[in-house]
Structure 1
Amino acid sequence: MSGLSQVIFSIRKPTLVLSVVAGGVILTSCASVPSAESTNQALPKAQINNQLADTAARSALTEVSETTSTTAQAAQLTRSPQQLIKKALITLIVDSVDKSIDAVSQIISQQQGDLIKLEEQQPKNESARHTATIQLRIPQNLLEPTLEKLTKLGSVQSRNITAVDVGDQIVDIQARLSNLRITESNLQKIMDRAGSVRDVLSVAKELSNVRQSIEQIDAQLKNLQNQVAYSTITLNIEAAVSGNAPQRTFGSQMQSAWNNSTHSLAEFTFGLVKMGIWLAVYSPYLLILAAASYGLTRWRRNNAQRSVSIPESGHSDRLD
């Protein structure tokens, strides 16, 4: 806004200066006229000169007031509406987290939004809760309808909405960007008129710095405008857990026992199959060990039989 007022004042300034100069010239010319008249006529001339000076001053003040009024009107015209960055945080207690995640995906698709993040934590034991955190972006004009649909998925535990006005920041960035682009155009003109290589290189360096600043500020502006256009919703979902767990029925207990037994049988069978695979792989070594053990056993038996037969033969010879 201050830049616009300076521009308008710079346009009105020559007119103001001319008015003041004109008043001074009139006063000088009137003062330089020879006083040939009587003393009674000198007083009206002085009054006329004072009236001329007052007229010039009023004209200058009128132009200043017109400049101020024009500046205020231009400021009102260029004042942008509120640019709000909105964020919402909701915590819901639901019956089924899986069904709620599917419902949220459908709502995102209907509201033309985007899924940013999904974190799901399965319960590790019976007392733990099944939880999930979903972060999504929704067009700002569809924020309220989206929140209404999300709150219908379960019981609202907490709800928080924040809004930050970045309108002044956006206007400031736009003004800086406009000034930098004007500087870029002027540097380009100077570069086209530069004669020596040294001047060309110097202007090219400055032009590169200005363009780099333009890119950075333009990225900041687009980021702010994107945050204004799309609101962020963080949804925490928790499964409902009752204080006292209900008693299991006989049928559920039998079903659980059957499932556990079949699971145990499957694990036992799988273990036998694994053991058979290991034995098949190491069967050559097992055969070698079995052959060596059998040979050692036969050798010991043969030695034992020989030791028994030798004493018996010697005893029969003595009898003869």
Structure 2
Amino acid sequence: MNRAHPIRFQPALVFTALLGGLVLSSCGAPVPMSESGSSVQQQTVGEAAPAAADAPVDNSVVAAATEVPRSLPQLIKTAELSIAVDSVEKSIDAATAIAAQQRGDVLGLQDNSPTDSRQNAYMQLRVPQEKLEATLNALAGLGTVQRQSIMAEDVSNQLVDFQARLRNLQKTEEMLLDIMERSGSVGDVLKVAQELSNVRNSIEQIDAQLKDLQNRVAYSTINLNLEGAIASNSPDRTVGTQLGETWQRSTQSLRELTVDLLQLGIWLMVYSPYLLVIAGIAYGYKRLKHRKQAIAPEQSIAD
């Protein structure tokens, strides 16, 4: 009695078969025409050739036929804008409102308010690329533009490369899924599953990079620097406020002087033994000198 032997699953043979099928399907040649059809076509072309030669040629039609369609460049735009304003606080609120009006966002804000220099603030805005020019014009109205620049990076080739790699990986994923549906040993299925997991990880990585580039192309970044006038004391301060500030400064100075004197006393206490020795040596030297001076006149009188 004959028994049916199970066909063992060979992933290498299946891969080869699938790849061969793709190559054959993409490289198939068109069906040749019959000889009678070919002769009729040649006769028709021969009769129409003189008429086509006599007809006038439309240059615009020829130019349109030969024109190759070109895709728009994919640019990542970054603008730098520095503005001198009267009030930094009001300009921050106005810039935030402008970004919201242009369907943008504020990515970062850093406000520096020193007491002895120019107040300045740094803002990073993100707006749609088609709104970049309108946003810059609106921001320029906040004050006097000191510096403005726009930089663009062409990422068209990177986008095309990521899209091509993503399509190829997706086709590979479909092939692996088709292979897993076929019968085979557990070991072969596990190998295909591992390869499928690697392909899907690559798809996720490339898809994330592609979306990041597309998002950076769709939204432009504006680095805004707001510079205000030199910070000074408010002119409408009352006399009581000024006296209070003077009292605070004087008491602060007194505290600092007291601390300095206490620190000096501690230093003197630590070095007091050395100071006493030096003072004793100086005192003994002075006494000895006076004694010698007192003995010298007595000897001269005795002589």
- Common fold, TM-score beyond 0.5? yes
Which residue number corresponds to residue 128 of structure 2?
139
After TM superposition, list the pairs within 5 Å mapping 1:107-118 onto structure 2. Answer: 107-118=98-109
Whether contact under 8 Å (2:119, 2:230) holds in the other structure is: no
Shift in alpha-carbon separation, 1:262–1:131, aligned structure 2, 3 A:
same
Pick one of 194, 197, 203 that aligns with 2:192. 203
Which residue pairs with 1:104 in the alignment? 95
Deviations 1:274-317 (A, max 9, x none): xxxxxxxxxxxxxxxxxxxxxxxxxxxxxxxxxxxxxxxxxxxx
CA distance in 2, matches of 1:92, 1:190: 63
Helix, strand or coil at the partner of 1:216: helix
Match of 1:220 among 209, 224, 236: 209
Asked whether the 8 Å contact 1:80–1:167 carries over to 2, the reply is no
1:259 lines up with 2:249 in the alignment = no
Q: Which runs of 5+ in 2 are unaligned?
A: 1-21, 34-41, 43-64, 251-303
After TM superposition, give the deviation of residue 194 of structure 1 in Å: 3.8
The answer to which structure has the higher helix fraction is: 1
Per the TM alignment, residue 133 of structure 1 is displaced from its structure 2 partner at its CA by 0.3
Match of 1:163?
A: 152
TM-score, normalising length from structure 2?
0.58
2:172 is matched by which residue type in structure 1?
T
1:119 aligns with 2:101: no
The 3-state SS of whatever aligns with 1:203 is: helix
Distance (whole Å) between structure 2 residues aligned to residue 191 and residue 102 of structure 1: 59
Residue type of the partner of 2:87? S
Distance in 2 (alpha carbons) for counterparts of 1:80 and 1:95: 45
Map of 2:82 onto structure 1: 91
Scaled by the length of structure 1, the TM-score of the pair is 0.55
- The verdict on how the C-alpha distance between 1:13 and 1:196 changes in structure 2, with shifts beyond 3 A counting, is closer
User: Identity across aligned pairs (percent)?
Assistant: 49
Unpaired runs of 5+ in structure 1?
Answer: 1-6, 20-54, 56-72, 269-320
SS in 2 for 1:240: strand
Larger of the two Rg values belongs to structure: 1
Instruction: Answer yes or no: is the 8 Å Cα contact 2:88–2:119 preserved in 1.
Output: yes
Partner of 1:70: none
> Of the candidates 154, 158, 183, which is equivalent to residue 143 of structure 2?
154
Letter in 2 for 1:260: Q
2:300 alignment counterpart:
none
Partner Cα distance (1:260, 1:95) in 2: 25
Residue 33 of structure 1: aligned partner: none
Mapped partners of 2:71, 2:203: distance in 1: 22
Q: Alpha carbon RMSD of aligned pairs, Å?
A: 3.5
1:80 deviation in Å?
Answer: 3.7
Residues 264, 240 of structure 1: alpha-carbon distance in 2 compared, 3 angstrom cutoff: closer
- Find runs of 4+ consecutive structure 1 residues off by over 4 angstroms: 7-13, 263-268
Task: For residues 196-236 of structure 1, give each alpha carbon's deviation from its aligned partner in whole angstroms, at most 9, with x where no partner exists.
Answer: 00000000000000000000000000000000110000000
Distance 1:188 1:12, change over 3 A: closer
